[in-house]
Chains A and B, each alone.
Chain A
Amino acid sequence: MPLNLKELSKKPELLSPGHRACAGCGSVVAIRQALMAVDGPVVLAFATGCMEVSTTIYPYTSWRVPYIHNAFENAGATISGVETAYRALKKRGKIKGDIKFIAFGGDGGTYDIGLQSLSGALERGHNFLYICYNNEAYMNTGIQRSSATPFCAATTTSPSGTVIPGKTQFPKDLTAIVAAHNIPYLAQASPHNWRDYIGKVKKALDIEGPKFINVLSSCFRGWRTQPVTSIDIVKTAVETCFWPLYEVENGEWKLNYMPKEKLPVAEWIKVQGRFKHLLKEENKPLLQEFQDWVDKQWDILLQKTGDTVHKVVV
């Protein structure tokens, strides 16, 4: 199927309407787009989180495909079990045809409590795709900081006050941690660039072995923005190089999008209430620290992808 809007609009959605996610939820968009890349049978596993809670309020379900949820910390292990059972049944000729396996987890269930489980599944080499819908905090339980929460972001467990300016740490680089597992394919994506993102999911599903995609998903409740900006805001994250789009295929790092003009990270920060204290005059050094961090991470990435900053054409 060619990747164009006309064809995609014909595809039946695997996540049906009527789920209980917020209007303007970036994670739902990220998940619907990912599933547009699926042809044929698929089994989904979810870690505890917004998307699990809002799509499966038993006895209701929004899923038109088989779905499994276990607990918070083990989407990687749960999908490992399902995929192993599938292989065992297939070996004995009890299942014919190909089934794809996709595990979804938020940043809490992936960066934090689910990291061990994910790492184990990647190392063992199960044939599955793990997609982290990263909305940069524990949004399901009421906006607590995670190790994906950006520097200085205010959350209920990293509140900004007169002394402490929100979260005092920078987020960990989960995509690089996954890359260190030397799996056949991994990528970073954003739903605003649907062609790039859906293409990555498609590519990943065609590859044998463990695959991983980290997709930035806005949460207007936690980011303190307006629901209508859910897609614009992740685009700005990419344009500021806070969230670069890249992939690593068999160890080859490749940048998928080079902004024509690298915007200052303040452009992304200033539209989000969780950073509003950063715009105060006295917090300028913190904003600079944030910008320096983005610049450094961007440089490190470009070294890996072999791109040079000269490519930036103003």
Chain B
Amino acid sequence: MLFRSNNSILWLLKFRISKFNILKTEATTEPILICGNEAIGEAAIQAGCLAYFGYPITPQNELTAYMAARMPEEGRVFIQSESELAAINMVFGASALGVRAMTSSSSPGISLKQEGISYLAGCELPAVIVNISRGGPGLGNIGPAQSDYFQATRGGGHGDYRTPVLAGASVQELADVTFLAFDLADRYRTPVLILGDGILGQMMEPVKFIHPEPVDLEPKDWILGGAKGRPPRVVKSLFLGTGALDAHNRKLQERYRIIREKEVRCEAYMTDDAELIMVAYGITARLCREVVRNLRRDGHKVGLFRPITLWPFPSLKIAELCRTAKRFLSVEMSYGQMVDDVRLAVNGKLPVEFFGNGGGEILTVGEIEEYTRELISS
């Protein structure tokens, strides 16, 4: 069962265990109080990240500082690059050797990394890229935002590619999706994005680092680790012969189809009898959950649907909800990006409303609730 109304984390774990058998339920450590940026860093280390390449940008600096201190302790490699562009290409170099590698940044820095992400996708190289996003466009500000949704879910760089995008809604979940990100990257030989925001990155919550069960990952028979005793291998994104590029792109598209089929993750909260279903991810989903609780207290039939994978987007689940719901409301810290995916999933069957701001400032429970009450009474 892909979809269940339940408590988020528990549900996520159950779901992953039953479906993919990749997470252990027992915690390996006592919970520790740690900020989201550090939680991603620690989870990456425990997930076997051997090389981390960072560059300063607010609000993700705690992650870079954490890796600077922790990676050498573990005998791993931390490098601060001279630019974001350099960092993503260092990831490219490390990944080509089959090493689990990661970089992180915030929105403007992620824009600079897009060339590298496109090359990683084209070359089928696994990598984990963390975006602790902030307000934009341009310099924007350093407040939390969700306005990088399009960039993250549509590929972001040039060419016809997608990357799995994982969006946690708590510090615990950021750690959980970090483990998942490395496995997805290796399993599908693709860069994977973790999309957080300035609040999730910097707020502190108790976290347990829950190691996934060892996954049956195929051996990396493509790494460029020295050709002695075997025929040389090639990792490339350049295909010049007639039809060669199209064959390569078809192969990528087939892989994306499998990811769409198998890797959708989401959470539903009080949606079974809900007439109005709010759709929100990340920190905004936390706010909407409170709105749902408040409105339920007054007898309104409201629920929350929370995508955890933004790509692949849980379109089928939303389509299923169309049978019982009467209306959807997408709530985002952007002026309407995910709402497009909700509309595509609903496909005209029901009205889809939108509420949000441009990002850079967090929405409040009060303003979301006020809008939602107006919507219900209209």
List A residues at the B interface (Cβ < 8 Å): 48, 69, 71-73, 108, 112-113, 115, 138, 141-142, 144-145, 147, 156-159, 161, 163-164
Contact = CB atoms under 8 A, between A and B. Distances in A.
Contacts of A156: 61, 64-65, 68
A151 B54 CA distance: 20
Contacts of A161: 69, 72
Given A108-B56, A141-B58, A144-B80, A71 B108 contact: yes
A147 B79 CA distance: 12
A161 B70 CA distance: 11
B83 A112 contact: yes
A243 B98 CA distance: 43
Given A71-B139, A157-B56, A113 B65 contact: no
Nearest to A57: B141
Q: Describe B's contact surface by its main secondary structure.
A: mixed
12 contacts: A69-B139, A71-B108, A72-B108, A112-B82, A112-B83, A113-B55, A142-B61, A144-B56, A145-B80, A156-B64, A157-B54, A158-B68
B83 A73 contact: yes
A113 B83 contact: yes
B57 interface: yes
Interface of B: 54-58, 61, 64-65, 68-69, 72, 78, 80, 82-84, 108, 112, 138-139
A286 to B, nearest CB: 17
Contacts of B64: 144, 156-157
Given A71-B108, A163-B72, A164-B72, A48 B56 contact: no
Contacts of B80: 144-145, 157-158
A17 B320 CA distance: 61
B68 A157 contact: yes
Contacts of B69: 159, 161
A73 B81 CA distance: 13
Nearest to A141: B56
Contact of B139 (A48, A113, A163): A48
Contacts of B108: 71-72
A73 B112 CA distance: 10
A71 B241 CA distance: 39
B58 A142 contact: yes
A113 B78 CA distance: 18
A141 B72 contact: no
A7 to B, nearest CB: 38
B82 A157 contact: no
Contacts of B84: 113
B166 to A, nearest CB: 25
Chain B CB within 10 Å — which of A113, A138, A157, A161 has the most?
A157
A141 B82 contact: no
A147 B55 CA distance: 12
A69 B139 CA distance: 10
Contacts of B112: 73
A141 B84 CA distance: 14
A145 B54 CA distance: 11
A113 to B, nearest CB: 4
A158 B67 CA distance: 10
Given A73-B83, A113-B83, A157-B80, A141 B57 contact: yes
Contacts of B78: 157
B65 A157 contact: yes
Contacts of B57: 141
Given A141-B61, A144-B61, A157-B80, 13 more contacts: A48-B139, A69-B139, A71-B138, A72-B108, A115-B82, A141-B58, A142-B58, A144-B56, A144-B65, A156-B64, A157-B64, A159-B69, A163-B72
A161 B139 CA distance: 35
Contacts of B82: 112-113, 115, 147
B56 A159 contact: no
A48 B57 CA distance: 11
A3 B58 CA distance: 41
Contacts of A69: 139
Chain A CB within 10 Å — which of B55, B57, B82 has the most?
B82
B252 to A, nearest CB: 30
A271 to B, nearest CB: 25
B139 A142 contact: no
Contacts of B68: 156-159
A48 B68 CA distance: 23
A108 B108 CA distance: 16
A156 to B, nearest CB: 4
Nearest to B138: A71
Contacts of B65: 142, 144, 156-157, 159
Contacts of A48: 139
Contacts of A115: 82
Nearest to A149: B80
A157 B84 CA distance: 15
